[in-house]
Structure 1
Amino acid sequence: MLSQSDYEASELFLEHSKAPRPDKVHIGLVQLSTDHSIERDLNMLVGSSAMVFSNRVYYSSAMTKEALAEISRGITQSAELIATGLPMDVMAFGCTSASIVIGNEKIRELLTANTPGIPATNPWAGALAAFKHLKAKRVSIFSPYPTEVNYPLYRQLAAEGLEVPTIGALRIEKDTDITTVSFDSMLEGARRILAQAPTDALFMSCTNLRALEHIDELEAEVGVPIVTSTQAMFWHAMTLVGKQPGIEGFGQLLKG
């Protein structure tokens, strides 16, 4: 066995050149510790256009305003630990209800505290931008949340000048249970909501709700655009850096 000095003398030194950063949109994502769906859904969307680099922030899973507000304490630290040394093009926070409770501007500040100047989004900011893009004035809601979370959602929609004909609520108490909602339940809920009153778009809230792959089928069934949390966040992240996704199979919003 060689001594360290003999090994160092015999080691073959190789030179290398530097490859450029991959020519894709780099999205830095802070997701919840309880989210079982957002990674899977984003993997269906990014294709050759984007790359997602993520970290998680602790969440107790309780669907209360207090528990959602508490998430804000860990967002900046989580964002700071995303792919150290690799510049991001846009930052994203993957929780709709927490973004509603904490506020879009505060979320942006927390996400970019250590990377000022980078654009930032979240599912709620993305949804609001999507409604404007789709020219939707009347937006109904399919919500998995309990009433104490739904009311702030309703108030913010109203504050944006949008009509809210119907909010259909599953009233699920734990975030980890939202991922188990079946497609049949989504379809029946969407039908009931749209039967109540005319609407321009249906927002299916929560990144843990596995609605993404069903958007085309739901749109064909109910006859209005379907906006989901992850779909809207991804679309908004791409448009913030001047890219139009142009993806088939995931609803009118992403078709371009």
Structure 2
Amino acid sequence: MSHHRIGMIVPSSNVTVETEVPALLARHASATFSFHGSRMRMHTVSPEELVAMNAQRGRCVDELADAGVDALLYACLVAVMAQGTGEHRRVEAEVAAQLAERGLPAGLVSSAGALVDALAATAARRVALVMPYLRPLAEQVVAHLEAEGVDVVDWVALEVGDNAEVGCIPNERVLGAARGLDLSRADALVISCCVQMPSLPLVAVAEAELGLPVLSAATAGAFCLLRALGLPPEIPDAGSLLAGGVGSVRHAEVLPPRLRAP
């Protein structure tokens, strides 16, 4: 059984991604993982704080490079998507270059890019979204996905601006918001389009109830981390994305070069 070190760059007020992604990967059948974090200061999910947070990225990358991680997750979806069309590719290219300067061939995943790539891997082109953000930021997330060829058929923003409060949104509220969406034209539902809004226990439940594939920022991140490490993206009880059907396609046929294992 192989072992892999996962680096995670997270907002300082985030407590969910460091719970959900390890919980997912702990179920993997053929590998074990350790998790190593670096934090960027951010409390309120506002355009100004997101820009200030992103400016701290270089320090975090250097810290995780010191730990010799095998893969790195830049874990704040809205901080990247709110900066404009295609921003996840620019950010990932800059982080990859910084890692290369340190001689570290780590796989690189951003939460923003992971969601785009997971949707592409499942061939879901019409999606519905549940987001915690204030409406102007939610609209930027929608615009980012639509620029990637994803048709967002319906969405809801829970309008929680305090990032610590986002981490306390009850599962019942998230599932209730999902039930209120018009899913008649959707190929998939992203039940938490945010790594801080808890949703992991809901993914399989919502998929069974609503009758379509259900993803979250956490399951998309886990999927792409596994692919970046060259591991089968198969995890039980985590929705169809991680059930093995998508993972049966060979890595190089699905993933862009930035996510292929070194």
* CA–CA distance in structure 1, aligned partners of residues 73 and 89 of structure 2: 12
CA contact (8 A) 2:88 2:113 kept: yes
Secondary structure at the aligned position of 1:235 is classed as helix
* CA–CA distance in structure 1, aligned partners of residues 32 and 97 of structure 2: 23
Question: Which deviations, in whole Å up to 9, do the C-alpha atoms of 1:191-232 show, x marking residues without a partner?
Answer: 11135x420111121111110122110111111111111111
2:94 is the alignment partner of 1:94:
no
* CA–CA distance in structure 2, aligned partners of residues 110 and 207 of structure 1: 21
- Alignment-mate amino acid for residue 218 of structure 1: A
Superposed structure 1 runs of 4+ greater than 3 Å apart: 109-114
* CA–CA distance in structure 1, aligned partners of residues 36 and 68 of structure 2: 13
- Which residue matches 1:175? 163
CA contact (8 A) 2:236 2:242 kept: yes
Q: Which runs of 5+ in 2 are unaligned?
A: 245-262
CA contact (8 A) 1:112 1:120 kept: yes
CA contact (8 A) 1:142 1:189 kept: yes
1:66-85 matches, cutoff 5 A: 66-82=48-64, 84=66
1:1-256 matches, cutoff 5 A: 23-47=2-26, 49-82=31-64, 84=66, 86-102=67-83, 103-116=87-100, 117-194=105-182, 197-203=184-190, 204-256=192-244
Question: Which deviations, in whole Å up to 9, do the C-alpha atoms of 1:55-83 show, x marking residues without a partner?
Answer: 33333322222211221211111121127
- Which residue matches 1:3? none
Structure 1, 30-39 or 62-71: larger mean CA deviation = 62-71
- Alignment-mate amino acid for residue 26 of structure 1: R
CA contact (8 A) 1:76 1:113 kept: no
TM-score calculated relative to the size of structure 1: 0.84
CA contact (8 A) 2:127 2:187 kept: yes
- Alignment-mate amino acid for residue 36 of structure 1: V
* CA–CA distance in structure 2, aligned partners of residues 162 and 83 of structure 1: 33
* CA–CA distance in structure 2, aligned partners of residues 106 and 118 of structure 1: 17
Deviation at residue 136 of structure 1 after TM alignment = 0.5
Identical residues among aligned pairs (%): 20
* CA–CA distance in structure 1, aligned partners of residues 188 and 117 of structure 2: 13
- Which residue matches 1:6? none
Distance 1:74 1:133, change over 3 A: same
* CA–CA distance in structure 2, aligned partners of residues 70 and 207 of structure 1: 19
Deviation at residue 53 of structure 1 after TM alignment = 3.1
CA contact (8 A) 1:141 1:168 kept: yes
Please identify the structure whose Cα radius of gyration is greater: 1
* CA–CA distance in structure 2, aligned partners of residues 53 and 113 of structure 1: 22
- Alignment-mate amino acid for residue 123 of structure 1: S
Give me the CA root mean square deviation: 1.9
Structure 1, 110-119 or 209-218: larger mean CA deviation = 110-119
- Alignment-mate amino acid for residue 68 of structure 2: P
- Alignment-mate amino acid for residue 11 of structure 2: L
Q: Which runs of 5+ in 1 are unaligned?
A: 1-21
CA contact (8 A) 1:41 1:212 kept: yes
Deviation at residue 152 of structure 1 after TM alignment = 1.2
